[in-house]
Amino acid sequence: MAEEQEQPRDNPAGSEPAGTVLTLVCEKCGKDYFFEDERPEPGMKCEKCGGTVFRSFHETVGDEARDDFRDSTERDLDPDDPEGDVMPGDIMDLNRL
């Protein structure tokens, strides 16, 4: 069976949203490609695995409210980072009350 290449489709919502970055994610290996001002070339292949199927989505640029929400609610990935600004001495002071 011959391998068919899927042709890029137009955005059904009309034009692309303003102030966004088009992100393509390779379905095989997960490599990300970002396009801010230009469109991806037709027949694009992944540099890492040679895949031709990509998930696409638009991400807003400079959305301060979203960035602030993400910073305040995102899980901390550094296991050595203290939970907050509480120092061990502060806990000892609470025991003396």
Q: Which of 35-44, 55-64, 72-81, 85-94 has the highest mean pLDDT?
A: 35-44
The Cα 72–Cα 67 span in angstroms is 9
Domain spanning 17-66 has what CATH number? 2.20.28
Spans of all domains in the chain: 17-66
pLDDT digits (tens, 9 = 90+) for 17-54: 566 788 899 999 989 998 888 888 888 999 999 999 99
Q: Is the pLDDT of residue 61 over 80?
A: no
Which structure tokens are listed for 11? 């955005």
Cβ contact 42:76 at 8 Å: no
User: Are the C-beta atoms of 24 and 56 separated by less than 8 Å?
Assistant: yes
